[in-house]
Chains A and B, each alone.
Chain A
Amino acid sequence: AQTVTQSQPEMSVQEAETVTLSCTYDTSESDYYLFWYKQPPSRQMILVIRQEAYKQQNATENRFSVNFQKAAKSFSLKISDSQLGDAAMYFCAYRSAETSGSRLTFGEGTQLTVNP
């Protein structure tokens, strides 16, 4: 079974600074997807960014980028120019690509605080 671990329960960053959230995962599969979801106080789950394991290039979405290290099974999220609206719980998630429609497996989450 796949597992996802987020070792940082809480992180804080100053507005306009950069922060990196860590995630590691364990799998025996070679084909999979990794995601970061944001959960603000409303508790809505919002997809931030996705990475396909077969792609060597790290995904980027505006101020959000990932550092995907397949051999190390590491998938960190970098938020640049942090904004107050980035404050939320962030979940790392894994999905197998070997079967269609497979489940998401989530990490425990990292609560990000952005200080003005």
Chain B
Amino acid sequence: EPEVTQTPSHQVTQMGQEVILRCVPISNHLYFYWYRQILGQKVEFLVSFYNNEISEKSEIFDDQFSVERPDGSNFTLKIRSTKLEDSAMYFCASSPSEQYFGPGTRLTVT
């Protein structure tokens, strides 16, 4: 069964550094999403992407964040100049209708 994959599974970075989180959505899905979950809290929407552009973004998704679909398979989330409070689990999801989640990337900012 096709699934969403994410790399890396765990990323440790120093405050102020840039990180790129990678996702490979399910191949025939058209909508892509990023969510984050700070430890012990609920899952929060960051951004959705359709037809090579952002279709919706939350108030969390400020200028520090960007998304890109650099080729036909990858979907990336870039965080510029990471802060301590960016430490969280980042989930990628893709959908035709139901959203299927990847296993997540645990980002730790030290």
Contact = CB atoms under 8 A, between A and B. Distances in A.
B interface majority secondary structure: strand
Interface stretch (B40-48, B62-70, B72-80): B40-48
A32 to B, nearest CB: 12
Given A91-B42, A108-B42, A109-B42, A102 B35 contact: no
A11 interface: no
Given A43-B89, A44-B104, A35 B42 contact: no
Interface in B54-110: 55-56, 58, 89, 91, 93, 95, 97-101, 103-104, 106
22 contacts: A42-B103, A43-B104, A43-B106, A44-B104, A45-B104, A50-B98, A100-B31, A101-B48, A101-B50, A101-B55, A101-B56, A101-B95, A103-B33, A103-B45, A103-B48, A103-B58, A104-B45, A106-B42, A106-B43, A107-B42, A108-B42, A109-B42
B12 interface: no
Q: What band does the interface of chain A fall in when counting residues whose beta carbon is under 8 Å from B?
A: 20 to 34
Contacts of B41: 108
A74 interface: no
A53 to B, nearest CB: 14
A47 B3 CA distance: 13
Interface of B: 30-31, 33, 35, 37, 41-45, 48, 50, 55-56, 58, 89, 91, 93, 95, 97-101, 103-104, 106
Contacts of B103: 42-44
A95 B99 CA distance: 10
